[in-house]
Amino acid sequence: MGRKKEKKGKSKSLSYSDETLQAIQTIIDRISLYQRQEEDPQRSLEFISQFLGKSDELDVAIAEGLARIPSRATAMILMEMKASCRTKPLLKAIKKSLYRLKQKGLSIEDRDERERSTPVIRPLPSGQPQGFMSGIDYLGNRLIILALPRIPRGLQTLEALVSDIEGLLNFHRDEMTKKAFHTFLRNLREKVKFPIVEIPPAYARFLLEEAYSLTEKMEKTPPQDFLTAKRGISDIENGITGPLIYQLLDQDEIKGNDRFLADSKNLLAMEGIINWVLEPEDVEPYVRAVREAEESRIALNPTQKEEWLQGIYLRALGELFPGERRLLYKRRLEEMAYILFKLDRSDEAKRCLAAALDLEKEINSLNPNPFLLQLVITSIYSVMAAERERKAEKEPSLIMRP
């Protein structure tokens, strides 16, 4: 009778959902790879920790699945999981897997938690990564921030200044508590002039890796801190390959609404984009042309003068925004549209996206992009205003001071 009961017990097996089985296979493949590369078991535990705690079924399945990798490192991972175990089903699954590893010839020292000395690997981290990004300045620069949970507590923070022209400009790693990070983020929002919004960690990874690729393309040396943190960044789930705004707004709806595109000329008066201007050296030839038109002694009526000025603006638009630069601004507007949407400014986000989608086409002088045309005009008159201020400062004052 005893033998029959034992046989019946062996034939009984748990059935898992397809999603759980897929997750287990992903974990087994990754842990096997780490062990072939002789990685520290800590790295394996950090990877596993992002799956733990989502469901009791998945936790048990992970513990059982690890028995398929017979190694000393696997036993160490299971022992650490056992030390932080809080449920009986999971504890039972861990003990079962440790027993199976022993049967495969592994020597496992199973000591009570009170008798254990310094653990081989630290306890499981809690929480999930967080990502943040700032608005983009007129040079195409912005901040990307990642907060990665550390073991046993606290965060590793990654702060990057990235450029859509040069790639990674600066990168800084730090360790801080969650409370200190919230304080850091609050102070940063007060300090910088651009909005900072939360983004999916996968998108932060995408943006950082995109900037790193651009740095390599420019044949520049990336910051050493980034190279150190690169492995941890790559552990974040990916799958994002482009601007997130298209997951939030229907581009067909935006393209079909002429009002959004027409109103995009007003975006430069908006927070986050108000400081966008072109470099003075870029618009200097057109500044001279506008000054000549305004100071001309040729008798022109207001309509003729306005046509003259419009011709200068349109020439600047066509010459300053060839294909590559036009697409650069398209991407900047897509990113700003996402930030505006996250700030509950959906109408402004739609205007931003409308301007971006219009830049898929070549510059057309008969139907120019309203946003870029206004950017050209604003930039020209900003330079002219700065020149007048400098001239006024150099003129001697007629006021006699005692």
CA distance 352 to 339: 10
What pTM, to 2 d.p., does this model score? 0.67
Q: What are the extents of the domains in the chain? A: 18-115, 130-242, 247-394
371: Cα within 13 Å, side-chain hemisphere: 29
What does the pLDDT read at residue 39? 66
pLDDT at 117: 41
Q: What percent of the chain has pLDDT over 70?
A: 87
CB 75 within 8 A of CB 106: yes
Tokens of 384: 């002219």
Copy the structure tokens of residue 162. Answer: 């990235």
The whole-chain average pLDDT of the chain stands at 84
Query: pLDDT of 83-121, one tens digit each?
Result: 767 688 888 888 888 888 888 877 765 544 433 444 444
| Lookup result for tokens 């001279």 | 288
Alpha-carbon distances of 77 from 44, 47, 73, rounded to whole Å = 8, 11, 6
Q: Mean pLDDT, to the nearest integer, of 307-332?
A: 95
Rounded distance between C-alpha atoms, residue 314 and residue 252, angstroms: 28
Q: Please tell me the distance from the alpha carbon of residue 129 to that of residue 46, in angstroms, as a whole number.
A: 12
pLDDT (average), residues 62-74: 86
According to DSSP, the β-strands at 130-134 and 167-176 are unpaired
Confidence of residue 80 (pLDDT cuts 50, 70, 90): confident
Q: How confident is the model at residue 401 (pLDDT cuts 50, 70, 90)?
A: low
Kindly indicate the confidence band of residue 397, based on its pLDDT and cuts at 50, 70 and 90. Answer: low
Per-residue confidence at 393, pLDDT binned at 50, 70, 90? confident
8 A C-beta contact, residue 48 and residue 77: yes
Residue-wise pLDDT tens digits, 194-252: 899 999 999 999 999 999 999 999 999 999 899 888 888 888 888 788 999 999 999 99
Most distant pair of Cα atoms in the chain: their distance: 117
Q: What is the mean pLDDT of residues 311-326?
A: 95
